[in-house]
Structure 1
Amino acid sequence: MDSTTPTNAAEAPKKEKKKPDNIVIPPKKPKLSKAERRELQERQRAAKAAAQTDGGGDAGKPKPPKIEKKEKTSTAPDESKRKLKEEVKKEDPTENETADEVVALFSHLPRPKPPIDIHSVSNPSIHPVITTLGHLYSTHTLLGGNTRCRAMLQTFALLLQSYEPPQTSRDYRHDLDHSLLKPAFQYWTAQCRPHSVSMGNAFSFLKLAVANLDRDLEWSEARQILLESTEAYVNERIEYAGKAVSRHAASKIQEGDVILVFGRSEVVNRLLLDAHRDGKKFRVIVVDSRPLLEGRDTLQILSRAGISCTYVLLNALSYLMMREVTKVFLGASALMSNGSVLSRVGTACVALLAQSNHIPVLVCCETYKICNRVQLESITGNELGDANDVACTDCERVGPSNRWSGEKEKKEEVLDDWKNQPNLKLLNLLYDLTPSDFVTGVVTEVGILPPTSVAVLLREMSPQENNDSAFKGTDY
C-alpha cells in the first residue's frame, strides 16, 4: 500500500466549498488594543458632540429644511387635550381637583363624588328610588355596613315589586340582571360612593338567587321567591346574626368593666344595650375622631339607655388606655381572609395601643362581611372622603347630619384657602386595616374565633364550587 494514500475517509482531505460570485465577504477587522479602542471611542464622542452643536442629528447628512406646516400644527394635540380636559371638568366637578391637590401616595383612588341632585337626573331608565338612595349614599346620611346593605336590599325589593319583564323577553332572568340589578348597583358605585364589602356580598347573593331561578316559572312566582330570599337574607345574615354576636360578646363583659369603643358600630351598640338590660354594671369610654364624629351617635344612644359613658377624642386615648380600660370592642366594615380587619380609620391605632397595654381586643363582625380577598395595607385599596371635611374646624358643622344642610352660617375657617397653597395637601381617608396580630378574637354569630380561623370559616360557609360565583365582585 502506498504510504501517501489515506487509510480511511476521515484522513481524506476535505473538499473546499466553491464561493458564490455574487457574495462579497468583508475582510476581518484588525484586533485593537485597549488603548486603541479607548482612542476610537473618544473620537466618536467628539464627532457626535460636534454634530449636536452644529444643530444636526447626523454629522455627515445635510440638515433637512424646516416645514412651517408642522410648526403650525405642533401645538394642536396639546390644545385638543386641554379642551378635552376642560370639558371633562365641566361634566364632572370632581375632576377640578388637580393632581397637585391630592397626596401622591393615594392618587390612584377615585375622588369622592359630590352629592347627587335627585331632580337633575334625567335618565328615564333610572328609577327615582335608585336616585334617592344614591343621594343618601353620597351625602353620608347612611353610614355603616349594615345600614347601607339593608337599604340596598330594601330598595331592590321595591324595584322587584314594580318590575315587569318585556313581553319579547326569552329569559326574564337575563333581563332582570342586565336591565334592573346591574344598572342600579353600578349607578350607586360609580356616581355616588364605592360599595362596601357587605353590599358586594349581598349583591352577589341576589344575582346568584336570580340565576338559580327555574326558567319555566311564571314571573309572579319568581318575584315572590326573590322577595322572600331578600327578606330572609336581611333577617338571617344581619338581624339574627347581630343578636347572636351580641349574645357571644356579652358573655365576656364582667361586673365593673371599663369598655372602650371607637366611633359607631351597630352590633357593638346592640351588645352593650343587651348587657345593660341583663343587669350588668359597666362603664363605656366612647372614642371619637374627626371629621365624621360618629361617636356622638354612640354616646347619645348609650347615655339615653342609662349607661355611664365618657367621651374623648382619639388624641387622648393613650392616657385612658393605660389607666382605666379593661376591654376593647370594635366594629368592622369587612373581615379579610387572613384575619385583618377593615374598619373606620383610627381603628388600627386603638387596637395597636390596646395590644401594647395587654388589653384584649374583640372585633364584632357578622359572617356576611367576610371577604375572600387578602389585604396587607390600606394604601392600595381604600376610599377617599371629601378633603373639605378635614379643612372644616368648626365641629358644629361637620358630621353626616348637617354636612350638606347649609343651615348654619358659614364662618371663616383657617384652611378655607387650602387649595391655593402650593405646599399644602389634605387627606381624608375613610378606612384603615388592622393586622390580625392586634386582634384577640373575632366575635361572629357562630362564636368567638381567633383571627387565624377566618379562612377556615370562609371555606366552610362557601363551598369550593360556589366560591367564584358567591364572592365575585366583592372587592373593596
Structure 2
Amino acid sequence: MADESRPKTDGGPSAAPGSTAAAGGKKKEKKQRTDVVVPPKKPKLSKAERRALQEAQRAAKAAGGGQKPGRKGDRGEAQTSSGDGSRKTPRKPEENKIEGGTKMKDSADASIGDKEVSLFSHLPKPKDADTHLVPSPANNNSIHPAIQTLGHLYQTHAIIGGNARCRAMLQAFALLLQTYTPPETSRDFRHDLDHSLLKPAFQYWTTQCRPHSVSMGNAFSFLKLAVANLSRDLAWDAARDHLLESIEAYVTERIEFAGKAISRHAGSKIAPSGDVVLVYGKSEVINRLLLDAALVDKKIFRVIVVDSRPMLEGRDTLEILSRAGIPCTYVLLNALSYLMRDVTKVFLGGAALMSNGSVLSRIGTACVALLANSNRIPLLVACETYKICSRVQLESITSNELGDAEEVACTDCARTASSNRWREPVGEGKDGDILSDWKDQPNLKLLNLMYDLTPPDYVTGIVTEVGILPPSSVAVLLREMSPENSAK
C-alpha cells in the first residue's frame, strides 16, 4: 500500500506536478543556449530542382579551374574563414609582367593548351626532331648508338611503313646481340638480356622517338618469347646464335615469304588485260604484287595512284611503278570521287588488322574504302598475319598517333629527298597566308592524325599469306596462330 501511494516520476498521467515542472525546466534551458547555431531544415527538392542544382555546381566548379569554391589553396576565388566567422578577401591569380607594367598570361603555356584539339588531347604528342638529334654515347651510356640512330630515323619519318620499321628494329636487335656479353656476375643471362638490352631499347624508341607500330610490338613479343624459351644451361655463344637464327627466320618467313604469297593470291584477281587498279599511298606488299603481275605474269593494266598531304607517300609508289613501265595516273584524294567511275579493283595496304576485322592504316584509307563500297567496287586489303592485333577497336579516336602539325601548315609539299624531310613553306611570311602564323591565330587549330580505322563492312576480302579471307575470319586466324595453340 505504501508503494501505491508513492508519486510517479516518469512524466505519466499520475506524475507529480513538481517533477513535471523540473523536467520542463531542463528542456527549456537547452533551447535557450546561444552558443549553438541550429541550421534550418533544408526544403525537399524535386528531381528537376536537384538536377538544376547539380548543373549549377558543375558550372561553378568549371569556372573555378576545376576546384571546389572555398577550398584552401585555390588560386582564383578561394576564401578562408576565421574563427569569428569573418571572411578574407579573395586572392587574385598571379600574372606575369612585361616591360611597361602590362600584365599578361604566359604565352608559352597558353599556346600549348589552346592549340590542342580536345578530342585527341589524350594521344601522345609528337617529339621534336630538332631537339632529339642523334646524341653521342657520352650523353647516354645505357643506350647503344645504333639504337639512337634508328630512333632518329623513326622520329624523322626516314623509315616508314610497318614492314620497314619492323625489319629495321630486328636488324638493330641482331646487331646488339652480336656485340653483347652478359656480365660475369649474371646468374641468368635470359633475365639480363631481357631487362638490360631489349626492353631499354624498345622503350627508348617508344617514349623518346615515336610510338611503336603493331608490327613492331608483335615482333618484340616474339623475340622476348624466344629469349624466355632458351635453356638456362645453354652457353651464351650458342644462345646468341640461336637468337640470331630466330630473328633471320622471322624476317624471312613472316615478311619476305609472306609478301610473295600475298602477291600470288592477290595477283590472281587482276585480269590479263583491261583492269584499272587503284592504290592509295605506299605499301610494300602492294607494290610487290603489282610489279609481279606486270613483269612476271605479263598482265596489262593501269594503276591510279591516290595520294594526300602531308606525307605524300604515293610519290614513291608512282616512281616505282612508272619505272617498271606500268601506266599510272597520279591524283590527290580530293579528286578520287571523279575517277572512281573507271576503277575496277582497289588494293590497299594495312598497318594492322584488329580482331574484329577492322583495318588500321594510313589516314585517308577509310575514305577510299567508303567510296569503293558506295560504287560497288571490290576492295582487297593486303596484310601479313604478323600484323594481326588481338585488340578490338571501333573508331580512330581511342588509339591513334599524332603527327607534327607543322607538316599540315607546310603548303609546299615538295620533298628534298626520299626521307620525307620537308622544306620551309614558300609562302611563309607573306601577307594573307593564314598558315604561316597559325600559332598566333586564336581560332585556328591544326590536327595531323597518322592513322584511321576502316570498318570490316567496307572490305571485300583480306589477302594474307594463308589466302584470301573475309574480315570475319581474322579472329579465327588469330586464335589458330596464338602461341598457346601452336605449342599443343
**Structure 1: distance between partners of 2:258 and 2:486:** 22
Q: Quick check: 2:373–2:458 contact (8 Å CA) kept in 1?
A: yes
Q: Quick check: 1:140–1:400 contact (8 Å CA) kept in 2?
A: no
- Tell me the SS of whatever aligns to 1:152: helix
Unmatched runs of 5 consecutive residues or more in structure 2? 1-22, 29-39, 44-69, 71-78, 97-105
Q: Quick check: 1:139–1:404 contact (8 Å CA) kept in 2?
A: no
CA 336–97 in structure 1, closer or farther in 2 if over 3 Å, else same: farther
Shift of residue 178 of structure 1? Answer: 0.4
Given the alignment of the two structures, is residue 132 of structure 1 paired with residue 149 of structure 2, yes or no? Answer: yes
Counterpart of 2:36?
A: none
Given the alignment of the two structures, is residue 235 of structure 1 paired with residue 249 of structure 2, yes or no? Answer: no
- Runs of 4+ in structure 1 deviating by more than 3 angstroms, as ranges, are 23-27, 39-42, 397-400, 408-413, 463-467
Counterpart of 1:274?
A: 292
Alignment of 1:42-441 (within 5 A): 62-64=84-86, 98-115=112-129, 116-119=132-135, 122-254=139-271, 255-277=273-295, 278-321=297-340, 323-397=341-415, 401-403=419-421, 411-412=428-429, 414=433, 415-441=435-461
- Tell me the SS of whatever aligns to 1:456: helix
Counterpart of 2:58?
A: none
Deviations 1:345-369 (A, max 9, x none): 0000000000000000000000000
TM-score normalized with structure 2 length: 0.76
TM-score normalized with structure 1 length: 0.78
Shift of residue 97 of structure 1? Answer: 5.5
**Structure 2: distance between partners of 1:308 and 1:428:** 32
* Two-structure CA RMSD over aligned residues (Å): 3.1
Shift of residue 325 of structure 1? Answer: 0.1
**Structure 1: distance between partners of 2:153 and 2:423:** 13
Q: Quick check: 2:416–2:423 contact (8 Å CA) kept in 1?
A: no
Deviations 1:260-287 (A, max 9, x none): 0000000000000000011000000000
**Structure 2: distance between partners of 1:279 and 1:228:** 36
**Structure 1: distance between partners of 2:151 and 2:423:** 17
Shift of residue 403 of structure 1? Answer: 1.7
Between Structure 1 and Structure 2, how many residues are aligned? 401
- Tell me the SS of whatever aligns to 2:194: helix
Of the two structures, which has the highest relative contact order with CA contacts closer than 8 Å and spacing of 6 or more? 1
- Tell me the SS of whatever aligns to 1:98: helix
Shift of residue 64 of structure 1? Answer: 4.4
Q: Quick check: 1:294–1:399 contact (8 Å CA) kept in 2?
A: no
Shift of residue 384 of structure 1? Answer: 0.4
Shift of residue 65 of structure 1? Answer: 7.5
Shift of residue 245 of structure 1? Answer: 0.4
CA 405–129 in structure 1, closer or farther in 2 if over 3 Å, else same: farther
- Which segment drifts farther, 458-467 or 226-235? 458-467
Shift of residue 114 of structure 1? Answer: 1.3
CA 145–65 in structure 1, closer or farther in 2 if over 3 Å, else same: closer
Amino acid at match of 1:119: P
**Structure 2: distance between partners of 1:57 and 1:173:** 59
Deviations 1:90-135 (A, max 9, x none): xxx9x99612101110011111011231135611111100000001
**Structure 2: distance between partners of 1:145 and 1:165:** 31
Amino acid at match of 2:114: D
**Structure 1: distance between partners of 2:436 and 2:184:** 56
Q: Quick check: 1:112–1:384 contact (8 Å CA) kept in 2?
A: yes
Shift of residue 400 of structure 1? Answer: 5.8
- Tell me the SS of whatever aligns to 2:401: coil
Identity score, percent: 70
**Structure 1: distance between partners of 2:256 and 2:80:** 75
- Tell me the SS of whatever aligns to 1:396: coil
CA 220–41 in structure 1, closer or farther in 2 if over 3 Å, else same: closer
